[in-house]
Structure 1
Amino acid sequence: MKRYFCLSLVLGLILVLPYHLYAQACANQSRVYANSQFFERNINFLSTGTVNDPSNAVDEDPFTSSNLYLQAVLGADITQFLEFREANKITRKVISGPNTIYVKLSLPSTFLNAGGAIEIGTFRYTTSGTAKIQTLKYNGTTVVGLVGGPGTVEIPVQLTSGEQANGVYVKLTGGILSIPISTDIYGAYVLENTTEIPDCDKGVDVISGLSDNAVLPVGSAFGSVSGEANAIDASPFTTYASLSAGLNVLNSAYLTAVFARASVPGDSAKVIIENLGGGLNLFGGLGIQTYLGANGLTSATTASGIVSKSVPGYPNLTEISFAINSSFDRVRISYGGALGISGTVRIYNVTKVIPKPVPLIDGALAVTKDVCFAVPSTVLSVNNIQSCTTYNWYADQTTTTSLHTGPTYILTGLSVGTHTYYVQSKRDNCTASISERVKVTINVNPLPTVSAANTTTCSGSTATLFVDNPVTGIAYRWYDLATNGTLLTTATTYSTPVLTANRMYYVEAYNTTTGCISSSRAAVNVIVLPVAVLNGTSGSASVCVGSTSTLTNTTSGGTWSSLNTNVATVNSTGEVLGVAAGTTTIRYSIAATSTACANSTDFSVNVNMVPGLTIGSDPEICAGFISSSLSYTNSQYNPVSYSITWSSTDFTNVNDQPLPANNIPFDVPAHISPGTYPAVLTIKNDRGCSTSINFNLKVNQRPPAPHVLVPISSQY
């Protein structure tokens, strides 16, 4: 039967094992036990010496033992030899230095009090094979120094370089007083490289006893250990080892579980215990320490970093676990050694635990991350990478075929949706050192899309660009370049500065919830057309109500329009008709073409009111009168001059004479005959606008002169 052990070098630990035993990281070694034994006695008539169950020392079971018993006076001794032979148990094996042979034995308290002597050493046969050569390695003093109290101990017997041995021996020698002494010998083994794969986290042996007092009397007041093997068996919740604390504060009971292979820094130790009273306290009565190699002790583990929790389904049990940042192959649990500590602690299970992977997503601690579609890659990795460990990535919790092996998993080409992965740690060259699978979720969000139509504007003008069908929750960012460039604005529209040449702009979509950006920026081409060439308009800048004036423009093909037809209208030839007093703009426009923008020129026209007045009744005169006048009242819009145009050529027309107040005089020909003579009065104001008013002059027949006889008298 072989027991497995892995050798691993860890700096900074207090080791009594030689360097080479821990130098082969990740490799497995098995316990190869001594499988043959014999014993020798040197007993006088006053002595008794026996070896009970001698074959138990070579049965490859670390929990069975032979017993060497000696009650003798000075000079008597008894020795058991444990020899290494091949599987046929005939051919002797040679163990060469600098190898180490480990001997497991125990010394009861009676031995420590008896004053007897013990020797441990190696032996080898001479070339002829008939004589043994023994080499002492430990004497009574050094053995007791290793044991420190009653119980089991694993003693490393170091072979020097070039030294050879066929086995080890344990010898008891009687003291001065005839006090019985004995020791239990569980076996001896060496470590050899093997290709067999062990359960690295399961214990293969237990060392136990009482500590901290080299000479202890027999009695329950000093504690006890029982059922040691149950602490590492296959029933972690039902069978147990017991540590009972006595009332003596100088000692404690301990149990050390030995594992098949040393841990990797970062592994945890896990202990399942039950307290039967007496003060379970990680700072006091209960102590937990880790070792690497026989008697290689690290600093004691206290409550710092310890996780304590109940065991589901077993309310009376407590699970204690803690990570160790150095390598260990043994966990020692002690109970007692403090004032007021008594009772019993049951140890149900002691194991090593490989840690669960701590995931990184793109270098950050996370178990879930939202990414955008078409991202070049998403990197899943393990933060707590350990040596001698393989990391497998799976699609689910149960499948046995991995997607990828290694601490880093680079994902590319992920489709939109949720992608779930599970990462698991597995210790190399171990059967069952496998962690829980840790779930990692990658949510791949779609990229937003964006489009915007090209547009046309005129030179010297701005242009407004629009996103096609904008979506709520999407921000639209406008740039001057297809990549990088200057952010111009964030909006669904963008108004350009004044442009004089064609220009490209770019817009991208940004999902404000997912942070995803469109795969590329949409290009928007702004085509800048020249403005059509157009000459200025010429003509009169004023017109009177009811009058017309004609405007002209030498650029052909345009159209005329009035911006206020209530003031003036214009026809297709440019003729402007005043409608009401005021100012309006007359526009001449050239329509847009495929190569030029529309253009127009404006011409301001003032429309002035015509003057007015109210004339009195038509004037009448008698023939022969040479003048007359036309009375008027209620003058309007500032008439300043007048003209009279007669239909009869007998009259002399009046042209642009200052308008007098109240009466307008005119001349009448002396020879004019009686009758009615039509005329037109035209009045003009200071704006040059005129009004014509018809009137008639009635010339009546002069009545005949009366004939009167006047007597004439004369003095003469």
Structure 2
Amino acid sequence: MPAYLYAQVTTPCENTKRTYADFQGSIQYGVKILGGSLIMGTISDAPNAVNGQVSDASTIGVGLGLAGLASSTQFLQFTNTSGTGPRSIPANTPATVKISLPTEVLSVLSGVEIGSFTDLQPVSAVWPLGGLLGAGHDAGYTATMNPIYNSTNIAGVISGSGEMEITVSPNQVYNGIYVKVSGNLLSVALSAKVFHAYIMEVTTDKVDCDEVIDVLSGVQPSVVGGVLNTTGKVTDPFNAIDNDKDSYALMDVGLSVLNKIFLTAIFNKPSQPKDSVSIILAKPGGGLLDLSLLTGFTIQPYLNGAKAGDPFNNVGTFLNLRLFPGSTDKYVLTFPVSEVYDRLEITTGGLAGVLGSLKIYDIKRKLAKPRTLTDPVAEDIRTVCEGATTTFAVNNPQDCTEYKWYDAETGGTLLNTGLTYTPPSNLAAGEYHYYVQASRTYCITATSERLKVKLNVNPLPTLIVPGATICSGSSTTLAVTHPDADFTYNWYTSSSGGTPFNVGSTYTTPQLTANTTYYVEAINTLTGCENAGGAKAVEVKVKQYAAVPAIIGTATMCGGTTSVFTNAYPNGTWSSSDIGIATVDGAGLVTAVAAGNVVISYTVADDATYCGKKVDFNLAVNPQPNLTLGPDPGICEGLSTTKLTYTHPVSNPVSYSISWVGNLLPVVSDQILPANEITINIPPTTPVAVYQGNLTIKNANGCERNIPFSFRVKLVPHKPTVSIN
């Protein structure tokens, strides 16, 4: 870039835009000589300098003539925001003027002057001697002028031919900037193009930050090449920024490859660090292009007229040269720029043997693509379990930049604005893609490519472990429903986990006397995911037994007898362990059937509160004694003793008693049973009759049996009376 003073310094995130001078006036001085000859300043296309079109320019100049005899001045004035009258620009406010100087001017820069002005006024033409002879000027404008660059110092800011910007900072209030060319000592014809003048001002409007709003081009003479050998040129420079991928600017070094051709793209706003640049270029005539051919080709970023870092060239490994999609001879050169810059200067030439010319099709700037990983090539893939989430974060954030997260590569739904994005924690298992895009906070279209990040949500293990209800003092086995071989099942005594006391899909508890809760977790050994909600509580409810009292009843019974057993607990069920020995009915009536030992039970069923309980009563059933009586005994009237015989005694009868129906005969109680026969004693006066008796025999267990029998008192015939007469 030509060396010149550039003072358009702005705060990094301050939103500024150009305000162009929008009113112009000019004046041409000259000399008239007798005979009609005229040495005069000239101007053409004057309105072009204030029409707002950066590629349009006026042309001011002077022809051949003596030093100081002719000049041309153009004033570019800023208008008040009301639209009328000149605007007063505060002192020390930088203003920039874009001009173009041809090669032949470089050796006579003493004829160029740039400065500020106030009090622009129209004036009429003034020519002495009736306009026939002498110095004068045509009608135009004059102003109070404050020269800033002139013959004494302008060489320090102009070092090449072509378009350039020169920034001045007047030390007093001003209304605009002027450019003046004058006749010079060498009497060389001079001309300059004046494109526009502008100041930078803060605005609340959004602007197209990454737009290339202007372009400069020309030749920078080298020490070897010399000022007058600047034969190169840039043809159609604005084609490099017209967004047409088929039009191009041609950078042609010409015959003197030792001079440098430059093409400078001026962006609407400064970049941020790491913003990238892409340039579409090609060799004239087509053919392959690689970095080795770009010797002498450099790209230098600038900020406010100062170099922003080192230049980029073909030896930098950061340069990425690839074929433009769909083309066989156009290439895209892409690289990030670490420094903040507001313009890029492309130069070629300056060395023998360099590529003589280049086509520049397009120059673009892009925001740095957001990164969530240090490695810009790696894909950010996160894996979580259902119910969990993770946070993606931009790790290369830029100032003045907003980061937006979407659910699609283009368009889509805006999910969040900020440096981070945390997906919802209620996502179903599956794969999800998110995209983050950078955009300048004060820009219209300045956006980066979207970075894709991926979230894999693994399903949680299913876990069903039924609880159990047991009776106090019992154990139970708890088991996972439909266990999975890929899962690990850990059992804990606390919801907070710790060291598992059991690992496996089942667990057999010890005997429990109170409600006990265990905690089980399922972990997928492949994904590490744990079942939803953490360790699952599995409760073993322990029911106490019903308070059933003991059975009240007799411990021994004799066969053939009955007894009522009782229990105060309601709604129980009676049962016998052997109904061949004893039976029991629903009311607790026990009937002894045969000798033996039997258990009489009272059972209470389970209910919602208690476990059922069975209480037992051990009953011994003793046998009844028995014997076989002989023929019913009889006795003759008047006698008092007879025998009741018996055989086949059973169950060891040991005593006997005799009672009589109607109590007609004497009762015998608890006498030792003699063997084989029982003596019956009756009063000798017992009347003749048949008497019904009951023989009661008992054994040592106290069991007895009643055996009825009959006893006859027989009439004894009277002896005949014999009378012996």
Which TM-score tier does this pair reach, normalised by the shorter chain? 0.5 to 0.7
**Judging changes above 3 Å, is the alpha-carbon distance between structure 1 residues 38 and 338 closer, same or farther for their aligned structure 2 residues?**
same
User: Residue 294 of structure 1 aligns with which residue?
Assistant: 305
Alpha-carbon distance in 2 for matches of 1:107, 1:17:
18
What is the DSSP-based 3-state SS (H/G/I as helix, E as strand, rest coil) of the residue aligned with 1:312? coil
Q: CA deviation at 1:100?
A: 1.2
Amino acid at match of 2:111: A
Distance 1:467-1:212 versus aligned 2 partners, 3 A rule: farther
Secondary structure in structure 2 of the residue aligned to 1:98: coil
Question: Is 1:120 equivalent to 2:133 in the alignment?
Answer: no
**Which of residues 74, 77, 92 is equivalent to 2:86?**
92
What's the counterpart of residue 271 of structure 2? 263
Q: Given the superposition, is the C-alpha separation of residues 184 and 83 from structure 1 closer, same or farther in structure 2, using an over 3 Å criterion?
A: closer
Equivalent position of 1:142 in the other structure: 153
What corresponds to 2:17 in structure 1?
A: 29
State whether structure 2 residue 144 is matched by structure 1 residue 133.
yes
Deviation of 1:457 after TM superposition, in Å, equals: 11
Any residues of structure 2 matched to 1:93-492 within 5 Å, and which? Answer: 93-114=87-108, 116-125=110-119, 132-140=143-151, 142-160=153-171, 163-213=172-222, 216=226, 222-235=231-244, 237-246=245-254, 248-276=256-284, 281=292, 284-302=295-313, 303-359=316-372, 367-375=380-388, 377-399=389-411, 402-418=414-430, 419-453=432-466, 466-488=479-501, 490-492=503-505
- 1:68 is matched with which residue: 60, 70, 87? 60
The separation in 1 between residues aligned to 2:220 and 2:509, in whole angstroms, is: 88
Q: 1:483–1:144: structure 2 CA closer, same or farther, 3 Å change rule?
A: same
Cα distance per residue 1:193-214 (max 9 Å; x no partner): 3344332212111111112527
Distance 1:360 1:283 in 2: 33
Whether the aligned pair in 2 keeps the contact of 1:381 and 1:407 (CA below 8 Å) is yes
Q: Secondary structure at the match of 2:157?
A: helix
Query: Does structure 1 conserve the Cα–Cα contact (< 8 Å) formed by 2:42 and 2:72?
Result: no
Q: Structure 1 residues 280 and 485 mapped into 2: Cα distance closer, same or farther (>3 Å)?
A: closer
**Deviation of residue 494 (structure 1)?**
5.4
Question: Deviation digits for residues 317-372 of structure 1, max 9, x if unmatched?
Answer: 111121222221111111112221132111111121123332479xx985433322
Work out whether residues 21 and 78 of structure 2, in 8 Å CA contact, stay in contact via their aligned partners in 1.
no
| Structure 1 pair 297–528 and aligned structure 2 pair: CA distance change class (3 A) | closer
> SS of the residue aligned with 2:269?
coil
- Cα gap change, 1:500 to 1:359, in 2 (>3 Å): same
Matches within 5 A, 1:533-548: none
Measured after TM superposition, the shift of residue 107 of structure 1 is 1.9
Task: Supply the AA of the counterpart residue of 2:20.
Answer: V
In the alignment, which residue of structure 1 is the partner of 2:537? Answer: 523
Question: For the residues of structure 2 that align with 1:197 and 1:73, how far apart are their CA atoms?
Answer: 51
SS in 2 for 1:486: coil
AA aligned to 2:364 is: T
Q: How does 1:503-522 map to 2 (within 5 A)?
A: 504-518=517-531, 519-522=533-536
Give the deviation of 1:315 after TM superposition.
2.3
The one-letter amino acid paired with 2:399 is S
Alignment of 1:45-60 (within 5 A): 45=33, 47-60=39-52
| Whole-Å separation in 1 of the counterparts to 2:32 and 2:309 | 47
Shift of 1:454: 5.3
Q: CA deviation at 1:57?
A: 2.3
* Preserved contact between residue 225 and residue 241 of structure 1 (Cα < 8 Å): yes
- The alpha carbon displacement at 1:233 in A equals 0.6
Q: 1:102·1:154 contact (CA, 8 Å) conserved in 2? A: yes
- What is the CA-CA distance between 1:481 and the residue it aligns to? 2.3
Amino acid at match of 1:121: G
What SS is found at the alignment partner of 2:329? strand
- 2:41 partner amino acid: G
Give the percent of matched residue pairs that are identical in Structure 1 and Structure 2: 32
Closer, same or farther: CA 513–142 of 1 in aligned 2, 3 Å: farther
Can you list the C-alpha shifts for 1:23-48, whole angstroms capped at 9, x where unaligned?
A: 16151313323431212324475845
CA distance in 1, matches of 2:538, 2:308: 75
Q: 2:392 and 2:525 mapped to 1: Cα distance?
A: 25
Are the counterparts in 1 of residues 233 and 252 from structure 2 also a CA contact under 8 Å?
A: yes
Amino acid at match of 2:428: V
Bigger mean CA deviation after superposition, 517-526 or 455-464: 455-464
Structure 1 counterpart SS, 2:48: helix
Question: Equivalent residue for 1:672?
Answer: none
**Residues of 1 paired with 2:205 and 2:29: CA distance?**
40
Q: Is the 8 A contact 2:109 2:151 kept in 1?
A: no
SS at match of 1:86: coil
Q: What is the TM-score of this pair, normalised by structure 2?
A: 0.63
Q: Distance in 2 between matches of 1:524 and 1:90?
A: 87
Letter in 2 for 1:41: Y
Letter aligned with residue 60 of structure 2: L
Q: Deviations over 1:389-408 (max 9, x none)?
A: 22223333444652333332
1:94 is displaced (CA, Å) by: 1.7
SS in structure 2 at match of 1:385: coil
Structure 1 192/499 Cα, relative in aligned 2: closer, same or farther at 3 Å?
same
Give me the CA root mean square deviation.
4.1
CA positional deviation for 1:274: 0.9
Letter in 2 for 1:487: P
Residue 112 of structure 2: SS of its match in structure 1?
strand
Q: Secondary structure at the match of 2:340?
A: coil
Q: Distance in 1 between matches of 2:142 and 2:179?
A: 18
* Structure 2 gap segments, 5+ residues each: 124-140, 545-575, 578-595, 598-609, 614-725
Q: CA deviation at 1:503?
A: 6.3
Q: Which amino acid aligns with 2:272?
A: V
Contact 1:154/1:294 (<8 A) preserved? no
Deviation at 1:475, TM superposition (A): 1.8
How many residues of Structure 1 are paired with residues of Structure 2 in the alignment?
521
CA-to-aligned-CA distance 1:602-648 (integer Å, 9 cap, x gap): xxxxxxxxxxxxxxxxxxxxxxxxxxxxxxxxxxxxxxxxxxxxxxx
- Output the CA distance in 1 between the equivalents of 2:23 and 2:292: 43
SS at match of 1:110: helix
Residue pair 1:39, 1:81 contacting (<8 A) in 2 also:
yes
Contact between 1:255 and 1:332, CA under 8 Å: does it hold in 2? yes
2: CA distance, partners of 1:239 / 1:282: 22
CA contact (8 A) 2:236 2:248 kept: yes
Tell me the distance in 2 between the aligned counterparts of 1:426 and 1:228: 29
Partner residue, 2:560: none
8 Å Cα contact 2:6-2:168 kept in structure 1? no
Q: Secondary structure at the match of 1:443?
A: strand
Aligned residues of 1:109 and 1:216 also touching (Cα < 8 A): no
The aligned amino acid for 1:54 is A
Structure 1-normalised TM-score? 0.64
